Amino acid sequence: MAALNEEQNMLKDAATSWVRGRAPVTELRKLRDSGSTLGYDPALYAEMAEMGWTGIIIPEEYDGVGFGYRGLGVILEELGKTLTASPLISSSLASVCALTLGGSSLQKETWLPKISDGSVIATVAVDESHRHAPLKTALSATPTGNSWTLNGIKMPVPEGMGANFLIVSARTSGKPGDRDGITLFLVKATTDGLTRTPMHQIDSRYPAKFIFDQVSVEGDAILGDVDEGADLLEQILDRACAGTAAEMLGTASQALETTLEYLKIREQFGQIIGSFQALQHRAVAMFGEIELTRTAVEAALDALDDNSDDIPQLVSLAKIMACETLKLVSNEMVQMHGGIGMTDEHDAGLYLKRARVVAASYGNAAYHRERYAQINGF
C-alpha cells in the first residue's frame, strides 16, 4: 500500500473503528429485514455526516473539508468491508463532482453545503435500462420559452428513493448514441410529473425507477452547457467509478479476511483445512489479486487528486480489476466455506450478492474493457 498522509491516516483510523463499532454486517441484515425501501439507514448516514465524510471532497468554501479523492477512497474501502449501504458515492462523490465541475456559483452555493452537512441527498441519474451506456441517453428535454420539459425514464438510479434532487442526463438534440446533444439538468425529486418506484435488489439496496412525464424545469436547472454535457458526464462517472472500485477493494479484502479466519479454525480429517496446499495456494492467489487491485485503485484516486490526463484509462483499469478480483474472491468465499457458505446465516452469500450488483454499477468489466481499448486506440 502506498503511504497515506496524516489526514488520510486519521480518516482511515476513524473509519475503521466506526465501521467496526457502528456498521458491522449485522446492520445490513437489519436493513434487509426492516422492510424499508429506502435502501440505506438514514441514522447511520447522519453519523457519517457528523464525522464530516459527506463533505470530504467538497471545498472548504462550501463547508466541506477538501481532503480529496484518496481520502474519500480510504473511507469507502472501510465501508465496503462490511457492505455498508449509504448514499456516500451517489451523493457525496458523484453529485458533488457534478456540481464542482459543472455547476454555476449559485448552484454550488445552494447545494454543496447541504450535501456536506447531510441534510440533502443527491444522485446522478444516467442509466435508462440495465445496461450502462451513458451516450445512449434517450430521456428528452425540449425547450419551451425559458423552461425545459423532460420526458422519459431513468433506472436504476442508485439511492434514488432517498434522493432530494437528481442530476439527470437528458437528450436535447441528436439521437441516442450521439455524443453531442446531451445536457445535464438539476431536478428536484418533488417536481410535478416526476414519480419514483423502488426496485428491489439482491444486495438489499433499493435503486429507484423514475418516470418523467412532462416534468418542467427552469433554464437555471441546466448544469454546464446545453448539448455539451457528455464530457462533464464522463468526468462525473469516472469519479463515481473510482470510488466504487475503492469500495469493492474493501469488500474483497474483507471477504478474503473472513475466509482466512475460517480456514484457520475449520477442521476436517483431523486437521485445520488451512493446512491443505490446495486451499493455501488459492488463498495466496487471491491475496495477489487484491494487492494488484489496490495498486490500480490507488493509481486512479491519485490521478483524480493530481488531475492528471490519464484519468479515464486509470479509472477503467481500476474498475476492471476490482470487478474481476471481487468476483473471484466472493466465489471462493462461498466455495471455501462449503455448506455453511450457502446458508443465509453466514455472511458469504451477502458478499456474493453485493459483489454481483456492485460489479455492474457505473459500468461492468466488459464495458470498461471496451472503453479502455478505445481510449488506447486498440
Partner 1 sequence: MSEEQDQNYPEIREAVQRLCADFPGPYWQKHDRDRSYPIEFVNALTEAGFLSVLIPEEYGGSGLGLRAASAILEEIHRAGCNGGACHAQMYTMGTLLRHGSKEQKERYLPKITTGEIRLQAFGVTEPTSGTDTSRISTFARREGDNYIVKGQKIWISRAEHSDLMVLLVRTTKRQDVKKPTDGMSVLLVDMNDAIGNGLTIQPIRTMLNHATTELFFDDLKVPVENLIGTEGNGFRYIIDGMNAERTLIAAECIGDGRFFVDRATKYASERSVFGQPIAKNQGIQFPIARAYIQISAAAEMVNKAARLFDEDQKMGSEANMAKMLASEASWFAADMCLQTHGGFGFAEEYDIERKFRETRLYQVAPISTNLILSHVATHVLGMPKSF
Asked whether position 131 contacts partner 1 by CB under 8 A, the answer is no
C-beta of 281: minimal distance to partner 1 in Å? 6
Q: Which of 144, 190, 277, 307 binds partner 1 (CB under 8 A)?
A: 277
Piece of 6-14, 33-41, 125-133, 270-278 that binds partner 1 (CB under 8 A) = 270-278
How far apart (Å, rounded) are the C-alpha atoms in residues 75 and 7? 12
Residue corresponding to grid cell 460489479:
359
What does DSSP assign to residue 94?
I
The answer to whether the beta carbons of residues 139 and 150 sit under 8 Å apart is yes
C-beta of 279: minimal distance to partner 1 in Å? 8
Output 187 or 286, the one with its CB closest to partner 1. Answer: 286
- Positive/negative CA dihedral, 316, 319, 324, 325: positive
Exposure letters 77-86 (e unless 16+ CB within 10 A, then b):
bbbbbbbbbb
Piece of 5-13, 59-67, 88-96, 271-279 that binds partner 1 (CB under 8 A) = 271-279
**Secondary structure class of 166 (helix, strand, coil):** strand
Q: Which of 145, 278, 339, 378 binds partner 1 (CB under 8 A)?
A: 278
Write the CB contacts of 156 (distance below 8 Å, at least 6 apart in sequence): 127, 130, 199, 201, 207, 208, 209
The amino acid at 164: N
Which grid cell is 188? 428536484
Closest to 38 measured CA to CA, from 200, 189, 211: 200
Output 144 or 277, the one with its CB closest to partner 1. Answer: 277
Asked whether position 335 contacts partner 1 by CB under 8 A, the answer is no
Asked whether position 105 contacts partner 1 by CB under 8 A, the answer is no
- How many residues sit close enough to partner 1 to count as binding (CB under 8 A)? 4
Output 30 or 281, the one with its CB closest to partner 1. Answer: 281
Q: Where are the alpha helices (DSSP H) in the chain?
A: 6-22, 25-33, 42-50, 68-81, 96-102, 105-116, 230-265, 277-306, 311-337, 348-360, 365-375
How far apart (Å, rounded) are the C-alpha atoms in residues 85 and 378? 37
C-beta of 292: minimal distance to partner 1 in Å? 21
The answer to whether the beta carbons of residues 57 and 66 sit under 8 Å apart is yes
Piece of 28-36, 215-223, 275-283, 352-360 that binds partner 1 (CB under 8 A) = 275-283
> Helix 230-265 crosses helix 277-306 at what angle (to 10 degrees)?
150
Piece of 74-82, 126-134, 232-240, 277-285 that binds partner 1 (CB under 8 A) = 277-285
Output 273 or 318, the one with its CB closest to partner 1. Answer: 273
Write the CB contacts of 154 (distance below 8 Å, at least 6 apart in sequence): 125, 126, 127, 128, 139, 160, 166, 168, 209, 210, 212
Piece of 134-142, 217-225, 247-255, 272-280 that binds partner 1 (CB under 8 A) = 272-280
Piece of 232-240, 245-253, 276-284, 326-334 that binds partner 1 (CB under 8 A) = 276-284
Output 142 or 275, the one with its CB closest to partner 1. Answer: 275
Q: Which of 276, 331, 346, 356 binds partner 1 (CB under 8 A)?
A: 276
C-beta of 274: minimal distance to partner 1 in Å? 12
Output 284 or 292, the one with its CB closest to partner 1. Answer: 284
- Contacting partner 1 within 281-310 (CB under 8 A): 281
Pairing between β-strand 140-144 and β-strand 147-157 as defined by DSSP bridges? antiparallel
Output 202 or 272, the one with its CB closest to partner 1. Answer: 272
Output 3 or 278, the one with its CB closest to partner 1. Answer: 278
The CA angle 220-222-226, to the nearest 5 degrees, is 125
Piece of 56-64, 86-94, 136-144, 274-282 that binds partner 1 (CB under 8 A) = 274-282
Output 129 or 280, the one with its CB closest to partner 1. Answer: 280
Name the residues that contact partner 1, by CB under 8 A: 276-278, 281
